[in-house]
Structure 1
Amino acid sequence: MRKSTKAILLGAMLSGLSFNGWAQHRDYPSYSQLTARLMKIGSRYPNLCSVNTIGKTATGKEVWLLTLGRDNAENKPALVIAAGVEATQLATVELSLQMTEQLLQAAMVQDSVRQLLQTKTIYIFPNLNPDATEQYSEKLRWERSGNAQPMDDDRDGRIFEDPFEDLNRDGLITMMRVKDPTGPYRPSKLDPRVMVKADAAKGEKGGYLLLTEGIDNDKDGKWNEDPEGGVVFNKNFSFDFPYFQVGAGEHPMSERETKAFADFLFDAKNVYAVFVLGPTNNLSEPLKFDRSNVSKRIITGLLEKDAAVNSQVSKLYNATTQLKDAPKTQPTGGDVLQWAYFHYGRYSYSTPGWWIPKQPLPKDSTYTSQTYPEEDHEDLNFLRWAKANNVVGTFVNWTPIQHPDFPGQTVEVGGLAPYVKQTPPKHLLEPVTRQHLKFFMAYAELMPRLEIVNIKTEKVTGGLTRITAEVLNNGSLPTHSEIGDRTRWVQKVKVNLRLEKDQTLVSGPKMHLHNAIAGGDKVTVSWLVKGKGYVGVVASSPTAGTQTKEVVLR
């Protein structure tokens, strides 16, 4: 499905030319700006990368693919970096672009980076859900996760009948707080701008309802439950698909974006591991092996050897990035991370890439975490971080309005601006990009490399020659995952003889197939061959490379 960039550039650029007032001063790129940036990368480094598309969204936006190390790309072990799987996490899109730019710049001056791109392929998907992320650049900004496929989320036979409304006319969809004695929320004692849930067990009382900004158009007692937007990319995959959940879609892989991504990967036999820049985090803290999860008919947890690799890679990630205060988030049904492991059979990792570091209370504060445990509340921590880093425009002050759904009640609109918790100023991502690039370079060094060693030939009776060889995995990681051997989708390590016409294989299979070979381990192969001249011993794996050695028959 990949197309030439020349054939699609004009249409892609024209589709995003309708800029509005917001887009002109926003920090993160719109679809058209992303497209222009990718084309610039492709034209600047034509010998190191290519820019293609794997398909279109419902609105005709291209789902872009950057291929780094373009020469013989399909025949080299590959890594996948997938960004934008959660549309509100725009920092992942920017992180993938910055990593691309930094890596290609380094390849022009550093032999080690150039060697990496000569021996490995890196597939980068900078934004897998462009219809949803484009809401960031629209006239009305709200945190949208679903694509442009119309969905009847509340299953009432109508579509988009209860959208958000900009009640204070600021171009942002925030929250409403409604003064109500039954409400479970109260203003925080640390920062009264932030609403927190009252703890009834501690004798706390609420007094406010907290709702998204808008009107109950269909009068069903819910606000904004059916806005524009359809299926969530990171809920539409086939493993543990969350049937009947909002945003999941009618069935697994129902969407253009998810199917295009999966189709490309199933064709890419050389992919060794998939790295998701998304909400789950199994890099800062690895997933654990649980025997009860792998003893079922349907495996729902990492196999033991794969869990050990996850732990090894997690240690590498923490050592190279030196990132602290990482969020502890688990996989969810229908996500990319689990599909890439359980159904695609590859090592699969995920990290948000950037998160809000934990911020201490001001030194002059009289509050302590023992007195006010809400100190760790996500929004309070974010506002302390924003103040410490001079990040402005993060909060909309609460403003009273007249609301038709709450006559005679006090209603205020305000709260955190959309996207701000996941879109730091781009300059703050630059050091994070360097740290992640250091990790990926170190990971590539650990990847498996097949090497044929200790070849021996022995002349035996009857004009036969016995050939014995060892195939060593000279890397630190296995040649492929343990789950790959279970799913039978990942190609095994293959060792075969390349014979001439006047040579005959007498004993031993012409092709040996082996399950995953651990880092530093080896397998031994042997044949009896009749004839003269040279034969080739070939060890190959799409995920671990190929080596050929010739031996002479005695």
Structure 2
Amino acid sequence: MKSTLKAALLGVAFSGVSTLAMAQRDYQSYAQLTTRLQRLSSKYSKLVSLTTIGKTATGKEIWMLTMGRDNAVNKPAIVIAAGLEGTQLATTELAMQMAEQMLEAAVLQDSVRELLQTKTFYILPNLNPDASEQYHEKLRWERLGNAQPIDDDRDGRMFEDPFEDLNKDGLITMMRVKNPTGTYRPSSEDPRVMVKADVSKGEKGEYLLFTEGLDNDKDGKWNEDPEGGVMFNRNFTFDYPYFQEGAGEHPISERETKAFADFMYEAKNVFAVFLFGPANTLTEPLKYDRAKATKRIISGPLEKDAAVNDQISKLYNSTTQLKNAPKVGPSSGDVLQWAYFHYGRFSYSTPGWWTPKIIPAKDTTGGKTPQSPSDNEDVNFLLWAEANEVMGTFVNWKSFKHPDFPDQEVEIGGLAPYVKQTPPVRMLGPIAQKHFQFFSAFAKWMPSLQIVNVSSEKVAGGLTRITADVYNQGSLPTHSEIGDKSRWVQKVKVTLKLSENQKIVSGNKIQLSNAVAGGDKFQVSWLVNGKGYVTLEAQSPTAGKQIKEVYLR
């Protein structure tokens, strides 16, 4: 009976019935996420606080969890941001589950509790809530833009060519139109999947491919101006994509992006920014490119920062053990590049979850042809979905009489919206745990300033020579190399504090240093006139502070 029911459900899942009730996905709406955050901050009120950095055009709060709340602004911090793109709901869930696991562990484990006493974690689970909320609407389509109206096709009208649910299934999928000038053909691996015909291999296209809908404004384009405005991850200042779809009228034009940038520029204690987003610079680190790094406008990581990226990538791969990650680089106007080039911090990105590579069993029973692993992203996803009984992933192609193509064969179908980036939530717990382990290990690697080898020597004229080494006992630099080129990132500062009867004869009261590598040190020295004690303070917002008293001889 059990196997019969299982077979029936799979039959529904892969026969074109993509009802949302069968979708096995329980991602939370904005209201549900808000309640979850409030309960979490109430339950662990001594460890975490919940604040908002701003509001969207529809009044939704952009929530932030501050973990390690006591003296949070004065401790070195890590930013973990998710929900950069409205289709990546799994990133929000990963960030939430990871926060929950960390707080639960802090109650039970001294090591995690001590971690939150020395470091601050700023977790922003959804930076683009107006876009992600489309997942929960009656009509589901993959929305990237926020709720700010914008004229994407610049014809003086807004939202005049939206998506239409022609087959009334509640989903916006694709239309394929049989046409001799088409550039697409069914995949030989899975005929449900449409692929570009490779003319260099003698392949011929059979279909034109469009998103489901009508050409409302009769301009020969379909759904080019749907509801939805600016994309959060295209609205930042570095390599801003002027006049491109979803980029906005100008950099940081949106409530969401301005709120995030304002918070970040105020948070001088942020050591590194980690993004759960489309780019992947953790399993595959960015490489040093001298040509890019030495241009007037730097467009590639500096040499020391690239070496750190490689170091962090090895840590990420060893702690998460995640395989076959997608190779996706930075994109124009994204948060990843802004956080590095303009904010001056170490900046990394990972999708967090991606479709695992499936190697199908080579079943030759009944005369079947042995299947081979697929490099096609959609084919691999469908193989994975079937192997893991993930339902509601595909709408089978069905004929439709389309008014825009009266004499042509038109079919509607394809992958259901969001499915490739929203695995069943139950699968994300182990992934969140691996990322919790990574961030815990990363935090232990962070820089920590120590004042060592302090000496106080009496010299001629009743003076005292004070020397000391400022040592970075962490494994990572006190800040990024590009931070040294930025006037915003604060350098390592060493201050000699005196009382009224004391005077510095030689040496600056405040001495600054560029980034100090992990395990490295630099020396400071003064000649002081007077008696009693002086105070030596070494501090950096991103590497902590230490104070020592020194007796004048």
Give the TM-score of the pair, scaled to structure 1.
0.94
CA contact (8 A) 2:25 2:423 kept: no
Give the aligned partner of residue 247 of structure 1. 246
Could you tell me whether the CA contact under 8 Å between 2:269 and 2:541 is conserved in 1? Answer: yes
Partner Cα separation in structure 2 for residue 482 and residue 57 of structure 1: 34
Q: Distance in 2 between matches of 1:40 and 1:23?
A: 29
Structure 1: distance between partners of 2:182 and 2:454: 77
Q: CA deviation at 1:402?
A: 1.2
1:285-333 CA-to-partner distances (Å, cap 9, x unmatched) read 1000011012211000000000000000000000100000011111011
For the pair 1:199 / 2:198, whether they are aligned, the reply is yes
Q: Which letter does structure 1 place at the counterpart of 2:170?
A: G
* Residue 301 to residue 24, structure 1, CA distance change in 2 (3 Å): closer
Residue 179 of structure 1 and its aligned partner are, at CA, apart by: 1.3
> Structure 1: which 5+ runs fail to align?
1-20
Aligned length: 530
2:156 maps to which residue?
Answer: 157
1:125 aligns with 2:139: no
Contact 2:463 2:529 in 1 (8 A): yes
SS in structure 2 opposite 1:132?
Answer: helix
Residues in 1 aligned to 2:139 and 2:21: alpha-carbon distance in whole angstroms: 9
Q: Within 1, Cα distance between the matches of 2:520 and 2:202?
A: 62
Equivalent position amino acid for 1:366 in 2? T
Q: Distance in 2 between matches of 1:512 and 1:551?
A: 17
Matching residue's letter, 2:435: H
Q: What is the match of residue 274 of structure 1?
A: 273
Following superposition, the deviation at residue 24 of structure 1 comes to: 12
SS of residue in 1 equivalent to 2:54: strand
Correspondence for 1:12: none
One-letter code aligned to 1:33: Q
| Paired residues of 2:477 and 2:518 also in contact (CA < 8 A) | yes
Q: Which residue of 2 aligns with 1:16?
A: none
The aligned counterpart of 1:437 is: 436
Query: Once structures 1 and 2 are overlaid, which stretch shifts more, 65-74 or 184-193?
Result: 184-193
How much has 1:84 moved relative to structure 2? 0.5
Query: What code does the residue aligned with 2:369 have?
Result: T
Paired residues of 1:152 and 1:159 also in contact (CA < 8 A): yes
- Mapped to 1, the partners of 2:295 and 2:188 lie a distance apart of 48
Q: State whether residues 58 and 130 of structure 2, in contact with CA within 8 Å, keep that contact through their aligned partners in structure 1.
A: yes
- Secondary structure at the residue paired with 1:71? coil
* 1:273-292 equivalence runs, <5 A: 273-292=272-291
Identity %: 72
Kindly provide the amino acid, as one letter, of the partner of residue 512 in structure 1: Q
- Hey, what's the Cα distance between the residues in 2 that align with 1:186 and 1:459? 86
Higher relative contact order (CA 8 A, sep 6+): 2
Separation (CA, whole Å) in 2 of partners of 1:346 and 1:112:
26
Q: Is the 8 A contact 1:22 1:137 kept in 2?
A: no
- After superposition, residues 366-445 of structure 1 pair within 5 angstroms as 366=369, 375-445=374-444
Task: Quote the offset at 1:505 in angstroms.
Answer: 1.2
> Aligned with 1:297: secondary structure?
coil
How far 1:193 sits from its partner (Å)? 1.2
C-alpha distance in 2 between matches for 1:480 and 1:427 = 37
Report deviation, 1:209: 1.2
Give TM-score, length-normalised by structure 2.
0.94
The structure-2 alpha-carbon separation of the partners of 1:73 and 1:182, relative to structure 1 and needing over 3 Å to count, comes to same
Is 2:72 aligned against 1:73?
Answer: yes
Conserved? CA contact 1:23–1:30, under 8 Å: no
Kept in 2: contact 1:23–1:138 (CA 8 A): no
RMSD: 1.4
Query: Counterpart in 2 of 1:533?
Result: 532
Find the aligned partners of 1:269 and 1:32 in 2 and give their Cα distance. Answer: 31
How far apart in 1 are the matches of 2:256 and 2:36? 21
Q: How does 1:1-150 map to 2 (within 5 A)?
A: 26-150=25-149
Q: CA deviation at 1:23?
A: 12
Output the CA distance in 2 between the equivalents of 1:464 and 1:535.
Answer: 13
- Give the aligned partner of residue 495 of structure 2: 496
Q: State the SS of the aligned residue for 1:166.
A: coil
Letter in 1 for 2:473: N
Give deviations 1:339-369, integer Å, cap 9, x for gaps. 0000000000000000011111341263676
Q: Give the superposition deviation at 1:26.
A: 4.8
Quote the residue 2:482 is aligned against.
483
Q: Which residue of 2 aligns with 1:10?
A: none
Match of 1:190 in 2: 189
On the 8 A contact 1:534/1:552 being kept in 2, the answer is yes
Question: Deviation string for 1:358-395 (max 9, x for gaps)?
Answer: 111341263676xxx9x311110000000111101101
Deviation at 1:189, TM superposition (A): 2.0
Q: Deviations over 1:203-242 (max 9, x none)?
A: 2222111110000000111100000000000000000000
Displacement, 1:201?
2.1
Code of the residue aligned with 1:257 in structure 2: it is E
What is residue 454 of structure 1 aligned with on the other side? 453
Give the C-alpha shift of residue 489 in structure 1: 1.1
- Measure the CA separation in 2 of the matches of 1:393 and 1:193: 15
Alpha-carbon contact 2:22-2:392 (below 8 Å) kept: no
Q: What are the superposed Cα offsets for residues 33-57 of structure 1, whole Å, 9 maximum, x if unpaired?
A: 1101100111100000000101100
What is the match of residue 265 of structure 1?
Answer: 264
- Change in CA separation of 1:190 and 1:367 when aligned onto 2, cut-off 3 Å: farther
Contact 1:26 1:137 in 2 (8 A): no
**1:438-469, CA deviations, whole angstroms, 9 ceiling, x for partnerless residues?**
11011011100000001000011222111110
State the distance in 2 between where 1:205 and 1:297 align: 46
